[in-house]
Amino acid sequence: MKLYQAPILAAFGLTLCLAQPALAQIAKTAMGSVEATIGDRAYSGETLNVPSEGTSTAEIRSFGPVTSIQIQAHDPEADSLMRNVLTIEVSLMGSDASASIMETTISWWPEGMSPPYYLGEDSGTAPEVVFDRLSLEDGGSAQGRFSAVLCRRDSLLAEADTSNCLPVEGTFDTALRKAD
């Protein structure tokens, strides 16, 4: 794992841990969908808006000239809201729909914060996201497709097991909320 990835994984892990009890009890509404095939298994998840908390699981953040898009889909059929989570993260250079993609990360958290995790960083295949429609204005939205090869990790800091990888491909269509 590259050193710059550790803070990203730690932040995601902390978000999952802190969000689980809160999201379980707070009113939330679906704001979009992610449909995928992970290995030979069909996946269907929802992005969620949590109005009372002023957050969502599909957000846009701006850091100077960089725009970050995070789409986190939750399986409505899972035993827990934090299980079977599929995440697509994209960093763009620019702040409008013509911005170029700098970095893409795709991960799957079948057991939430409990291992195993499936991440695309060390698979040897660059993840790909194609936006068919992207609006970064207030009331933004994203529609497109993605593909990656995700390799198993038995802990957040473990090396990827490149002999145990799953292809993932799918589509997303979601509203995007500007993060505060």
SS3 3: coil
pLDDT in tens, 28-47: 899 999 999 999 999 999 99
pLDDT reported for residue 137: 81
- Comparing CA positions, the residue from 66, 85, 67, 65 lying closest to residue 75 is 85
Alpha carbons 24 and 80: distance in angstroms, whole number: 8
Cite the DSSP H helix spans in the chain. 5-25
Question: Is the pLDDT confidence value at 16 over 70?
Answer: no
pLDDT in tens, 91-108: 999 887 788 999 999 999
Q: Burial of 21 by CB count in 10 Å (0-12 exposed, 13-18 middle, 19+ buried)?
A: exposed
- Check: pTM over 0.85? Answer yes or no: no
